[in-house]
Amino acid sequence: MSNHKGHVVVLTYPAQGHINPLATLATNHYTVKSIHATTVGVEPISDGYDEESFKSVGSRTLSELISKFKDSASPVNCLVYDSLLPRALDVARQFGIYRAVFLTNSASVCSMYWHIDHGQLTLLVKQETEPVLFPGLPSLGLSDLPSFLAQPSSNSAYLAVIMENFGCLDKNDWVFCNSSEEMEDKLVKAMSGLWPLVMVGPMVPSAYLDQQINGDIAYETKPPKSVIYVSFGSMSDITTKQADEIACGLIASNIYFLLVAKDSINNLPIEFINSAQERGLVVPWCNQLEVLAHQAVACFVTHCGWNSTLEALSLGVPMVAMPQWSDQPTNAKFVEELWQVGVKAKKNKEGLVTRDELEMCIKEVTVGKRTCNRAVRLGGSSDKNLNEFVVKLVRGEVKKA
């Protein structure tokens, strides 16, 4: 057998929620049992400075990067690219190398977009009370759908970008998804044969899963399961009214809390920030994985972004879901009903989660002891899937799409 080597270029979309999982894939999972570790390098490419230029300049500079290694001892033979960069597929085909698209949403949400893009389901939802049925998924209400599908006219620009990415999934050799077969087994079976789907998540560094991180957070001395962690991600915009309800709900819970407020810190009541010094801490940023891995954390009040959901699932932290937009409503539905690892906070007629509702949800997942287990362990399905990918890549055993 000839001596094949694998050289993979990983191309990520420049947003935190996209960089983190692909960086973990590149740095954590490349040393699987099939190969010996060599090096992981970082190469920049030009973004063209605006969206239109990025389409042409990004493709050209990616081509230059791959060409750079063409005559080296380890030429590039595979491109793993973020699903928001579909033009990378054309570059990979141009060079005749393997291509693998990386989905940063759940396979369930991605399947919704795919079915609609292929005309198998219509985009417009007829009745708010009428259930929406997708293959391999539980019955969904209008409020459970990604916001881009529930309100397509209000999110037309976002939806256009997303839909562009799902017309060519089956043109890839692999479709990597940051999820696991254990979490989405029925969906994986339903999509079998439609795309070359490979579940490789959750993309959480193994040191956190193995409790090998000795965190130095503010609650190091607090008892186990005694702190509420609250964060709504890097892109959520919390209104002044909602911030006020969250603040009052946290105070009423009478439990220690760590609140990551970021830009919305200006929306918090001054009285709350002053009183928080007794039972809580308000910060603009923290290392979320270190916090979630800490034994003091009792629950996670979250927007249910996919990365945050996976991290809480993997580390066994129950959630209070307060979805804002995008895929978050669907993730929250699954957290409460499919995986049963938390509760979804209900909104009132004004679209607010009230202080009383938040307090009740916090008690349900702390005092009520709604718990969750780790979704992925060493030797689990995702580890095996990644191992098989590397074996086939190194041996050249895959027929290119």
Using one digit for the tens of pLDDT, what is the confidence trace for 139-195? 999 899 999 888 887 777 778 878 888 888 999 999 999 999 989 999 999 998 899
Tokens 């999509």 sit on residue = 191
Give the pLDDT of residue 45: 55
57 confidence band (pLDDT: 50, 70, 90): confident
Is pLDDT at 332 greater than 50 in this prediction? yes
The pTM for the full model equals: 0.88
* Cα 61 to Cα 99: distance, rounded to the nearest angstrom: 17
pLDDT tens profile 74-120: 899 999 999 999 999 999 999 999 999 999 999 999 999 999 888 87
Q: Specify the CATH number for 8-204+377-395; select among 3.40.50.620, 3.40.50.2000, 3.20.20.140, 3.40.640.10.
A: 3.40.50.2000
Assign 264 a pLDDT band (cuts: 50, 70, 90). Answer: low
Say whether pLDDT at 374 is over 70: no
pLDDT at res. 41: 56
Confidence band for 36, pLDDT divided at 50, 70 and 90: very low
Q: Is the pLDDT of residue 129 over 80?
A: no
Q: Where in the chain is the domain with CATH 3.40.50.2000?
A: 8-204+377-395, 215-366
Q: CA 380 → CA 181, 319, 384, distances in Å?
A: 9, 23, 6
**117 is a catalytic site residue:** no
Rounded to the nearest 5 degrees, what angle is found at the Cα of 65, between the Cα atoms of 173 and 110?
Answer: 35
Asked whether residue 293 carries a pLDDT value surpassing 80, the answer given is: yes
Q: What is the dihedral of CA 225, 230, 235, 238, to 10 degrees?
A: 160
Average pLDDT value over all residues in the chain: 84
Residue of 18, 29, 115, 294 marked active site: 18
Cα separation, 76 vs 70, in Å, equals 7
Determine whether 303 is an active site residue: no
Q: Which helix H or strand E contains 307, and what residues bound it?
A: helix 306-315
Q: Which member of 29, 82, 144, 294 is catalytic?
A: 82
**pLDDT-above-70 percentage for the chain:** 82
CA dist 316 and 320 (Å) reads 13
Residue 50 has pLDDT above 70, yes or no: no
Phi, psi of 398 (to 5 degrees): -105, 130
Residue 278: pLDDT above 70?
yes
- 382 pLDDT exceeds 80? yes
Could you tell me the two tokens for 143? 């409020």
pLDDT value at residue 395: 79
pLDDT at residue number 10: 93
Q: Is the pLDDT of residue 53 over 80?
A: no
**According to the model, what pLDDT value does residue 118 have?**
86
Is the model's pLDDT at 34 over the cut of 50? no
Distance CA 90, CA 50 (A): 20
Q: Please, what sign has the CA dihedral across residues 359, 364, 366, 372?
A: negative
Residue 229 pLDDT level (bands cut at 50, 70, 90): very high
Give the per-residue pLDDT at 35. Answer: 40
User: What pLDDT, on the 0 to 100 scale, is given for residue 209?
Assistant: 63
Q: Is 5's pLDDT higher than 80?
A: no
Nearest by Cα to 100 from 393, 394, 313, 397: 393
Lowest mean pLDDT among 59-63, 130-134, 144-148, 392-396: 392-396
CA distance 295 to 288: 13
171-175, 191-195, 327-331, 356-360: least confident range: 191-195
List the one residue out of 8, 16, 60, 383 whose CA is nearest residue 173: 8
Range of weakest confidence among 42-56, 221-235, 285-299: 42-56
Structural fold of domain 215-366: Rossmann fold (3.40.50)
The whole-angstrom separation of Cα 324 and Cα 165 is 23
Q: What are phi and psi of 99, to 5 degrees?
A: -130, 140
